[in-house]
Structure 1
Amino acid sequence: MAALDTGCSSSSSSHLLLAAVAVLLLTRYLLKRRAGGGCKLPPGGPRRWWAVLGLGLGLDLGLDPRLPPHLLLDALGRAHGSVCSLWLGSRLLVVLSGFQTVRDALQRRADVFSDRPTIPLVTIITQRKGIVFAPYGLVWKEQRKFSLSTLRHFGFGKLDLEPKILEELQFVKSELYDAEGTAFSPFHIINNAVSNIICSMCLGKRFDYEDEEFRIVLHQIARGMKLASNSPAILINVFPFLQYLPFGPFKEFSQTVKDVTSFLKNIIAAHRKTLDPENPRDFIDFYLKEVDCEMQRNQDTNFSEDYLFYIISDLFVAGTDTTSNTLLWAILIMASYPGVQEQVYNEIRAVVGESRSPSIKDKHHMPFTEATIMEIQRMTTVVPLAIPHMASETVDFKGYTIPKGSIVIANLWSVHRDVSMWEKPDEFNPSRFLDADGNVVKHEAFMPFGIGKRICMGEQMAKMELFLIFSSLLQSFSFKLPEAEDAPNMTGRFGLTLSPHPFKIIPVKR
């Protein structure tokens, strides 16, 4: 019996020893993994979970923690180099700054840096579907290829987008004529106009500016984007369970997502009922037609009405916010630089005249106007941190190890302020995009739509909208700042995009 007891004691001791060794090895592994497994991680800011709020990062750099994230991360890059990092909870976030580094990562190493991370707040909205936030892979490639082909059809095919833009401009001008000589906020009419252009292309209809449903949806989108960029909602990325709280910003955010979802899904359902495959009216009809064709060829298709909803959401939300904010910046900057505004107007008058509206065909004959739009995009960078990327595998990059699964942020703001690429980058100067003969020159460090495989799908459509709306408005109006008010705040409000702070403008008929 004693022998048996001795054997049991020996066995228990062995098990305890093995368990202790296993715990020791696991702890060592986790610590090494946290520290990069002995590899050289990029240097950087605070290793604290609350860096997600910007507080830790700001204090570490000796800066005001209330600075917008793109400026904090720009300062981080200046302090630690073009490849640096910080921890968000247990996840490594790598920040890329400057033209050379961003280009080398997103273009030359696109095989590694083209994926998207799983971010709880984004996943709630997108379910990792669509074009913008979907993971890199076969499904994304198929959906993007089809969507890009359809958008090109609208831009340059028989369903030309230009007449829709010019039609919408008549409503904008009418609003501006009514407000002539008075100080008013242009946010409402610009947001409505850009949204309506997207609606015409995707949903097959435009909405009256006073349409109650349209007004509510635009308000919900704007409110949702504001909530998504505020600290309480951002905490969902650290504590995902917060999304289920039935009060405060969390409840409001969830309700906003539900309302916008209901609006778009009802429109898709109405299109399904009235679909004529021989005469597709808009993007939804083209996609539904493709769904039916794919179902006949292959029951296991990736095309579905569910996936269509997320693509439409991407086009509707992202397309509206980026373009409208760029145009709002354009109006504000033209009012702030009246000399440049007059140069643009003189070119429009010389090329287009006053009896007709500008056409996209005029663009090649209006280099100063085009250069001015490009300089506005460079100066404002409405998507300053791009859309987060992810390392799909562990990679050595610029002398550092970037572990698989790391979130990768490309700071496009820093690219557009890179002193090695731009002379006096903080100055507004459209001539930097013109050669000695006055022709537009393409600058390799100019990337307002991103770079690499994830470059914005709507780039060509956005360029068309910006040129036609900007040139048409300056053909008909000059814009002035109210003399009695303080100078406008030009730092911008950081959200999912960088928008101007509220401002008022005085339109004066030409």
Structure 2
Amino acid sequence: MVPVLVAIALGLLLAYIWNKTRSKLTHIPGPTGLPILGNTLEVGSSFKLICKMEEWARKYGDVFKFNIFGDEIVVVSGSAIGEVLVTKGSEFAGRPKYPWFEKLEGGETHLFMREYDPKLRFIRKLVHRGLRQYGEGVDRIESISVVEISKCLDNIEREDGADFDPFTYIHHAVSQVMNTMLTGEALSEGHPMLNKAIKLDKIDAELSTSYMLLTITDKIPLLDKMTFIPAIRKVKEYTQILDSLINFWTGFEATYDKNNMRGLYDVVYKAYLESESSEEGTKLSYTNVKYLMYELYLAGIITTNKTIYAFVHLMVTYPNIQKRIQSQIDEVVSSQRKLTTEDRHKLPLLEATIHEVLRFTSIVPMTVHKTTKDTSVGGFAIPNDTQVWPIFTSNHHNAEYFIDPLTFNPDRFLEQDGSLSPPESRKMLMPFGAGTRNCIGEVFARMRLFLFTASLLQRFTLLQPTKGKFGIIDPKSEEYLKMTPCICPSYKIRAIPRAWGIYYPKKKT
């Protein structure tokens, strides 16, 4: 027995020495890990990962490292995020490889997790061009959004002031906008694809709880075949739903007309058929076409619907803020006119509230990058091919940048005269990332957030339910951080049409 224990101890010691000698980041501070495993056991869940990184940032500073199963990762916060994303954006524009994710997407990644290569640059330009070409560009996108928002609000009004959970209504409206953007038409009411989108979104978030396990599937032979493991089984279910979505989109190829671009699918499909290429000569494959649609579709849904869902919760939690926004809306437009994006600059409190929802909830608490060359950050040399993770919550919830950061307070983004604070005062707010690999749909997302929230508060007063407990959003709780992107726990509210609601009661007859 003793010789076995000695052998194990010696093996662990040798593994530790081997890990230390192979490290290229010994000059960067960070927590000490176990041999081979590194800090894996300390960050075994999404909640633990975020909490530990914020803890280590407080201890080691804006730049530190930790180790997951032998992979060294540099984490940045504070001003170092700006250096990584903006100042040296192209030098940190790579993405780490996740083989399990590549298998989902036909053996490669296509946009968000793709390496910073010529094809990625070509795809981003193509998508931007498609958004401009589609219909009347931004005006067309706005008109699509207004139609689906109106349908959503009609459904909410049919609840007739009863307790209800708005999640499904919000999700369907957001996904219908994306359906129309991609194919040129919304789905019929009750179409099964709407609920499949909800299921795909749900599983996507659940898979984030198994990040560590999925990351090492390529390191342990046959692990990805063990479907008795819940996470592996979830990947299979996810793939089945994804395949059904792709089959639905490819069905539009039968009625494709190169002279009539109905949506983004047609724009990208045309580039593929005509062998359009970038300056470097890269071209799209049919696999790129199919899975690029999936990435755009899911990205257009998962964060926007969660942000609106959180906004509704926070308006019920803070009725005085809700009333102030409604008063400002009433000053700007009549109850008969629908709001447009041209009204944004006239509603600074609503804009400030959207900023605060994005900061307070930090639905995407971090992102992942990789260096494309030898570089540096915060004075520390970083070798090529090193994972670098900016953690946004470390800034969004930092008292150095936002006073009383865990308090929901839209006024922090307003000047004394009530106008919206200038962009330079919000440089530490990065809900869509920044720089070279910022969210490709940021303008689109901000437009929908404004139109949805403004229209909702113009038409309804949102109240707590008559039955059951209405909880709070705690952006530091395990319940909130257990999945990424984060989503506030389910809740029920009442929506009272303002024609007869709490601020504008019915006239007696």
Residue 472 of structure 2 is matched in structure 1 by 488
Q: Does 1:116 align with 2:95?
A: yes
Following TM superposition, by how much is the alpha carbon of 1:32 offset from its aligned partner in structure 2, in angstroms? 5.3
Picking from 402, 405, 408, the partner of 2:385 is 405
Q: Does 1:79 align with 2:59?
A: yes
Query: Cα distance 1:153–1:348, how it changes in 2: closer, same or farther (>3 A)?
Result: farther
Asked whether the 8 Å contact 1:48–1:88 carries over to 2, the reply is no
Query: Cα distance 1:320–1:155, how it changes in 2: closer, same or farther (>3 A)?
Result: farther
Residue 62 of structure 1 is matched in structure 2 by none
Query: Cα distance 1:48–1:382, how it changes in 2: closer, same or farther (>3 A)?
Result: farther
Residue 488 of structure 2 is matched in structure 1 by 500
Residue 194 of structure 1 is matched in structure 2 by 174
Following TM superposition, by how much is the alpha carbon of 1:322 offset from its aligned partner in structure 2, in angstroms? 0.4
Query: Cα distance 1:152–1:430, how it changes in 2: closer, same or farther (>3 A)?
Result: farther
Residue 35 of structure 1 is matched in structure 2 by 23
- SS of the aligned residue for 1:87 comes to strand
After TM superposition, the structure 1 = structure 2 runs for residues 7-406 of structure 1, keeping only pairs within 5 Å, are 31=19, 33-36=21-24, 39-44=26-31, 46-47=33-34, 55-57=41-43, 67-98=47-78, 100-126=79-105, 127-154=107-134, 157=137, 160-215=140-195, 217-231=196-210, 234-240=212-218, 241-294=222-275, 301-386=282-367, 388-406=368-386
- Normalising by structure 2, report the TM-score: 0.86
Q: Distance in 1 between matches of 2:36 and 2:163?
A: 45
Following TM superposition, by how much is the alpha carbon of 1:489 offset from its aligned partner in structure 2, in angstroms? 4.2
Following TM superposition, by how much is the alpha carbon of 1:308 offset from its aligned partner in structure 2, in angstroms? 1.4
Q: Which moved more, 1:441-450 or 1:193-202?
A: 441-450
Alpha-carbon displacement from aligned partner over 1:393-413 (angstroms, at most 9, x marks no partner): 343332434333222111111
Matched residues, number:
473
Q: Does 1:460 align with 2:446?
A: no
Q: Distance in 1 between matches of 2:278 and 2:183?
A: 26
2:164 partner amino acid: F
Q: Distance in 1 between matches of 2:35 and 2:497?
A: 55
Following TM superposition, by how much is the alpha carbon of 1:31 offset from its aligned partner in structure 2, in angstroms? 4.6
Following TM superposition, by how much is the alpha carbon of 1:487 offset from its aligned partner in structure 2, in angstroms? 2.6
Following TM superposition, by how much is the alpha carbon of 1:67 offset from its aligned partner in structure 2, in angstroms? 3.8
Asked whether the 8 Å contact 1:243–1:250 carries over to 2, the reply is no
Q: Which runs of 5+ in 1 are unaligned?
A: 1-25, 59-64
Following TM superposition, by how much is the alpha carbon of 1:125 offset from its aligned partner in structure 2, in angstroms? 2.7
1:56 partner amino acid: E
Following TM superposition, by how much is the alpha carbon of 1:323 offset from its aligned partner in structure 2, in angstroms? 0.3
Alpha-carbon displacement from aligned partner over 1:253-311 (angstroms, at most 9, x marks no partner): 23333323322332343222211111110001111222233369999752233111222
Superposed CA RMSD: 2.7
Residue 503 of structure 2 is matched in structure 1 by none
Asked whether the 8 Å contact 1:45–1:85 carries over to 2, the reply is no
Q: Does 1:437 align with 2:417?
A: yes
2:309 partner amino acid: L
Following TM superposition, by how much is the alpha carbon of 1:143 offset from its aligned partner in structure 2, in angstroms? 0.6
- SS of the aligned residue for 2:275 comes to helix
The share of aligned pairs that are identical, in percent, is 25
Asked whether the 8 Å contact 2:119–2:283 carries over to 1, the reply is yes
1:82 partner amino acid: D
Following TM superposition, by how much is the alpha carbon of 1:158 offset from its aligned partner in structure 2, in angstroms? 7.9
2:54 partner amino acid: D
Picking from 398, 422, 426, the partner of 1:418 is 398
Residue 6 of structure 2 is matched in structure 1 by none
Residue 8 of structure 2 is matched in structure 1 by none
Picking from 440, 452, 457, the partner of 1:474 is 457
Alpha-carbon displacement from aligned partner over 1:132-167 (angstroms, at most 9, x marks no partner): 111001110011011122224448538711121111
Asked whether the 8 Å contact 1:382–1:498 carries over to 2, the reply is yes
Asked whether the 8 Å contact 1:106–1:453 carries over to 2, the reply is yes
Q: Distance in 1 between matches of 2:125 and 2:418?
A: 36
Rg larger in 1 or in 2? Answer: 1
Query: Cα distance 1:411–1:295, how it changes in 2: closer, same or farther (>3 A)?
Result: closer
- SS of the aligned residue for 2:65 comes to strand
Q: Which moved more, 1:176-185 or 1:315-324?
A: 176-185
Query: Cα distance 1:41–1:420, how it changes in 2: closer, same or farther (>3 A)?
Result: same
1:463 partner amino acid: R
Q: Distance in 2 between matches of 1:41 and 1:174?
A: 56
Q: Which runs of 5+ in 2 are unaligned?
A: 1-13, 499-509
Query: Cα distance 1:255–1:464, how it changes in 2: closer, same or farther (>3 A)?
Result: same
Asked whether the 8 Å contact 2:38–2:70 carries over to 1, the reply is no
1:461 partner amino acid: F
